[in-house]
Chains A and B, each alone.
Chain A
Amino acid sequence: NAGVTQTPKFQVLKTGQSMTLQCAQDMNHNSMYWYRQDPGMGLRLIYYSASEGTTDKGEVPNGYNVSRLNKREFSLRLESAAPSQTSVYFCASSGDPRGFYEQYFGPGTRLTVT
């Protein structure tokens, strides 16, 4: 099992450009999550998907959109990147929609917006 995979690992964007971060899990989990991690701010939830076909906003959803393509894949899109979106982005999955079970994290995508 690969667990949770993310692509790309690193990305540099110019302000206003768009991009999609990809995430896939092979653990047959129902729930998937997107977080960002910033120094001094900790991990903050951007969006989550409790099951295939559903998505909900987290703590910091502005400037992002998500798609739960199928049970395995959950993508995060930046339509018009801003320097404030420079961060490390983590995708996670868990087996229960309410997080009863362990969360498994991907290795992260380090994004810089200039």
Chain B
Amino acid sequence: KAGVTQTPRYLIKTRGQQVTLSCSPISGHRSVSWYQQTPGQGLQFLFEYFSETQRNKGNFPGRFSGRQFSNSRSEMNVSTLELGDSALYLCASSYDTEAFFGQGTRLTVV
């Protein structure tokens, strides 16, 4: 069974640009969550989608948004990038009580 796939693995963007990250969950998993990981703030929950609906949301500004498609694949978008958005963005697909994480997308904003 394939794991959670995140693309791209690495990304460099300029301040003010926008970026879209992609996550393909494990087959059959309908819940997809996104997390931001930084050295200073640690792992922080961004949002969770279940069957194309946002089910939970963390405390991030509106520049961070997401969506989920009918095949459960999810995208996360960050608009007007700031230097502080540089982080490892992790996607997790969940089934029952377990969350399975992808390898992450390392975003660097310059």
Whether chains A and B associate is no
Interface residues of A (CB under 8 A from B): none
